[in-house]
Chains A and B, each alone.
Chain A
Amino acid sequence: MSLWQKLACAALVLVVLASFAANWLAPAGYAHQYREATDAPPSRTHWLGTDELGRDRFARVLYGTRISLLLAPAAALLSTLLAALIGGIAGYLGGAWKRAAMAVTDLFLSLPWLFLLITARALLPLNVSPLVSVMVTFLLLGLLGWTSAARVLCASAALLRGSDFVRQARAAGINGRRLFWMHVLPNLKPVLFAQFWISIPVFILSEANLGILGLGVAEPMPSWGSLLKELEGLVSVGEEPWKFVPLILLVIVVTSFQILLSRQQEVAA
């Protein structure tokens, strides 16, 4: 493991631990309002100051990080499972099944992904509860983000279908369902894991994009997207640099994921 990979690993561990220790590290809950100190600069009480409603920004960053870091892997898990089912089965069955599944995948891939997310999210009511908004955002990301992974898994399953060990298993009289579950799927694990890992930073960024547009996790619940929304009204970078902390954190986490992904590719190779 290189120095950069160690640093990336340490950064991710630190961020995850801090976000899960939010109850102890933060001075108050993410929705608690300090009405006497709205839009306050950093101080000993509020390390990153407060927002325009008087909510502690440090607390919101910690809780927002927790939500984003739970949401993205959950969405990645859903999309990877869908990709395994759709792409994996289509590649294994081949023929018309493969053509039909890939036609649907091509259709999804040809649509502007972010625009589709925004449209789907905009169709839902804006005044949903924070918990429902988290679920909806997670489901949308997972349900719409399986296509690229499905293509890769389809090609991998088609390769496995023609492999010697699958032919040998067929010659042993093993039926098609068992062939898929016992012989194809276990050998797709490395590809599935890579696709899952690739999807996490993609979904973190997607949620951030939705959040900036006000279509992600609903207030008062914070997420990186809703925290970045605060930058909309920023006039000067130099005046309030602490407002960039969510953005810096986002860049660090996404970069760390990419660095560790390269490590995983090295191990796989």
Chain B
Amino acid sequence: MADGHTQPLLSAQISVCYAGKPPVLRDVKFEIQRGEVLGLVGQSGSGKSTLAMSILGLLDKKHSHIEGEIDFHDSDLLKLSERELRALRGRAIALVLQSPLSSLNPALKIRTQLKEAWRAHASGSGEDCIHAMRTALQNVSLPADDDFLRKYPSQMSVGQAQRVLIAMAILHRPALLIADEATSALDVITQSEILSLFRELNRSTGMAILYISHDLASVAGICDRIAILHQGAIVECGTTQQIFDDPHHEYTQKLMAAIPRIQSSAGNKTHAATAR
């Protein structure tokens, strides 16, 4: 869990604009503590993915302009070379994208994809690699046998594919995992399982998670704090309890009002359909 008195794992203050277009992110400022799960909520087009790509240095530099700083492990990510950023990607900061089946290479077996991700930052023997792959798969509750490793993405369910992506992301025990709409493409049951998995990984490994979503209800169950991103700016940030109990900003209030509620048949109380 977060400890507000220690130096944050990641501290960012950035503005991003694409060539010839108005700014996507306007002086966005936030911090992620070690072991914290921070939810970043905003509607489509609010700049959530741009923020994730900025942290990883994966924005196309020719068509975008980033100002500000992103401090991570005492270095400004925006000042690092591509080589230095590559050394951090996957090892210290990992990413899980929205669509699991399109995020896995359709032409490669799961074994090859995990091996590639492992070899990007490790140079041990084949046995070390297999051991790391099996451990990662077991950590995400997937079978770690040869039959499973021989599968292609098209031979798996969406939920399994998402777990494989998470296994790839945690292969090197990163300090920060960015989950960019990682449950948006999943059915509600699989979504709930993946959210539980994120929570479990956060508790067992102490890995911080930046959980990006457009769905306020889905972040409620796993996030320590929530930041609300609206029109390229963070309009409100607080603990999950604060955001849900006392939303200040008009946009946050709209998001809260948009959460489906059901009428109780026993009484006249209403319940928000959240995972709180």
Query: Is A171 in contact with B94, judged by CB distance below 8 angstroms?
Result: yes
- Residue numbers in B under 8 Å from A163 (CB-CB): 102
Chain B residues whose CB sits within 8 angstroms of the CB of A187 once the complex forms = 105-107
Decide yes or no whether B117 CB sits under 8 A from chain A.
yes
**Nearest-CB distance from B229 to chain A (Å)?**
20
Is the CB of B58 closer than 8 A to any CB of chain A?
yes
The verdict on A168 contacting B165 (CB below 8 Å), with A173-B86, A187-B106 known, is yes
Q: Does B173 contact A (CB under 8 A)?
A: no
Contact A174:B117 (CB < 8 A) given known A167-B58, A182-B108, A186-B105: yes
- Point out the residues of chain B lying under 8 angstroms from A238, CB to CB: none
**Within 8 Å of chain A (Cβ to Cβ): is B91?**
yes
A75 to chain B, nearest CB (A): 27
> Which partner residue on chain A sits nearest B96 by CB separation?
A168
Residues of chain A in range 143-179 having any CB-CB distance to chain B below 8 Å: 163-165, 167-175, 178
- Quick check: B106 and A171 within 8 Å, CB to CB? no
Partner of B58, one of A170, A178, A189: A170
Given contacts A171-B89, A171-B94, A182-B108, contact A165 B103 (CB under 8 A): yes
User: Which of B99, B107, B120, B169 meets A164, CB within 8 Å?
Assistant: B99
Q: Are A173 and B87 in contact (CB under 8 A)?
A: yes
What residues of chain A lie closer than 8 Å to B169, measured between beta carbons? 172
Q: Which residue of A lies closest to B83 (CB)?
A: A175
Task: Assess the B168–A172 pair: CB atoms within 8 A.
Answer: yes
A183 to B117 CA separation, bound complex (whole angstroms): 12
Interface range on chain B: under 10, 10 to 19, 20 to 34, or 35 or more?
20 to 34
- A95 part of interface (Cβ distance < 8 Å): yes
Please, which residue of chain A has its CB at the minimum distance from the CB of B169?
Answer: A172
Which residues of chain B are near A178, meaning CB under 8 Å? 116, 120
Contacts of B86 in A (CB 8 A): 173, 175
Of A165, A171, A182, which contacts B90 at CB under 8 A? A171
CB atoms of A169 and B105 under 8 A apart: yes
Instruction: List the A side residues contacting B87 at CB < 8 Å.
Output: 173
Most A Cβ at <10 Å: residue of B62, B91, B94, B105: B105
| Alpha-carbon distance A182/B108, docked complex (angstroms) | 8
**CB-defined contacts of B104 to chain A, threshold 8 Å:** 165, 168
Using A172-B168, A173-B89, A187-B107 as known contacts, say yes or no to A167 and B97 having CB atoms under 8 A apart: yes
Contact A172 B107 (CB under 8 A): no
Q: Are A172 and B102 in contact (CB under 8 A)?
A: no
CB–CB A172/B105 < 8 A = no
In this assembly, does B56 line the interface, its C-beta being within 8 Å of a C-beta of chain A?
A: yes
Known interface pairs A165-B103, A167-B97. Does A172 touch B90 (Cβ–Cβ under 8 Å)?
yes
